[in-house]
Amino acid sequence: MNNGLIKISPCFEDVMPQEYKDLVEQGSFGKNFGVSDLGSFKELIEEHPLCAGCGLALSMRLILASLPNPENTIIVGSTGCSALAFSQVALHNIHSLFGNQNAVATGLKRALKLRFPNEIKDVVVVAGDGATADIGLDMVMQSWFRRENITTIMLDNEAYANTGGQESGMTMEKAVLNMAPKGKNFPKVNLADVARVAGCAYVATCNPAKPRMLEKIVRRAVFTAREIGPTYVQIYAPCPTNYKLKPDEMLNTIKTREKDGTYPTSEYISSSAKELLERLEGGTNNEK
């Protein structure tokens, strides 16, 4: 970058770790970087506090590398494990109280439109499944009903991970967790279908085991939200700690779920979004 987006206070320069200095100096800003360039720029500090093998950490890296307009993107987060990573990124971000993320993002987007009518400002919510499908569902749905121009990304680890493993609406039926010892007794919520019916112009499910697909989906969602209306992306991001996986089993868990059809990659594109994406991409490529 360095376009002054994030600055280290001179008083702290001598004590800041080198990794953080690298983040400030080598962000993805001002360049046309994507997930294929990961490793040549800094998007998240490696020494972040998420557990080894955490699907959220990998997904966050990929989301940050996929944003089409990072300097002018504001991420709105919510309480949960992903929030722990936000202080390790060189990007504008706001932490909202648990469940409030879509209401905060809505207000922010509206204010940015008024304050900067001639500039592109993307607002992207990145929150957990508990924050999105359970406790914040009311505000998520209202932002969709009202056709707000924001992207909602759910990091779906199928649990309330940060509080020790309670079941969420997104947990699979019969799944056993630390604080759901008898197994969940109703099915996983199909929030992708709900999003489509509630007015999202673009809806997709994906995972970090297919980074280029994730990149394409995030970019499509951001472009569609900018021009047309709300968009929803659901990323399967397993939690090794609560699902008792070894860190190196995370990606294979995703691949197995994709293969057995219990967590497929999918895409819904409304006709207006299709028109837009065809114009931007020169023909939509729907290959998974």
Q: Which residues are at the interface with ligand TPP (CB under 6 A)?
A: 56, 79-82, 98-99, 128-131, 135, 157, 159-163, 168
Shortest Cβ distance from residue 178 to ligand TPP (Å)? 13
Residue 143 CA neighbour count, 13 Å, CB half: 29
Residue 217's closest CA among 231, 199, 204? 204
The footprint of Mg ion on this chain (CB under 5 A) covers a number of residues equal to: 4
Give the one entry of Mg ion, ligand SF4, ligand TPP, none that residue 33 binds, where binding means its C-beta sits below a cut-off of 5 to 8 angstroms depending on kind. Answer: none
**Which is nearer to ligand SF4, 165 or 230 (by Cβ)?**
165
Q: How far is the CB of 255 from Mg ion (least distance, A)?
A: 20
Nearest 5°: the CA angle 233, 256, 163 is 60
* DSSP-assigned letter for residue 166: B
Cα–Cα dist 270/264, whole Å: 19
C-alpha dist (Å) from residue 177 to 139, 190, 230, 254 = 27, 20, 33, 18
Side-chain-facing half-sphere of 180: CA atoms under 13 Å: 23
Is 157 a binding residue for ligand SF4 by CB under 6 A? The answer is yes
Residue 250 CB, nearest approach to ligand TPP (Å): 14
Residue 184 or 226: the one with the smaller Cβ distance to ligand TPP is 184
Min. distance of Cβ 50 from ligand SF4 in angstroms?
4
Residue 128 interacting with Mg ion (CB under 5 A)? yes
Which partner from the list Mg ion, ligand SF4, ligand TPP, none does 229 bind, CB cut-off 5 to 8 Å by kind? none
Interaction partner, residue 98 (ligand TPP, ligand SF4, Mg ion, none; CB < 5-8 Å by kind): ligand TPP
Interface with Mg ion (CB under 5 A), residue from 157, 224, 234, 270: 157
Shortest Å distance, C-beta 149 to ligand SF4: 29
Q: Which of residues 29-58 bind ligand SF4 (CB under 6 A)?
A: 50-51, 54, 56
Residue 81 lies near ligand SF4 (rule: CB under 6 A): yes
Tell me the pairing of strands 202-206 and 266-269: antiparallel
CA pseudo-torsion sign 18, 80, 240, 68 = negative
Task: For residue 59, give the amino acid letter.
Answer: S
Distance CA 7, CA 216 (A): 30
Read off φ and ψ for residue 5, nearest 5 degrees: -65, -45
Nearest approach in angstroms of CB 155 to ligand TPP is 6
Write out the residues near Mg ion by the rule CB under 5 A. Answer: 128-129, 157, 161
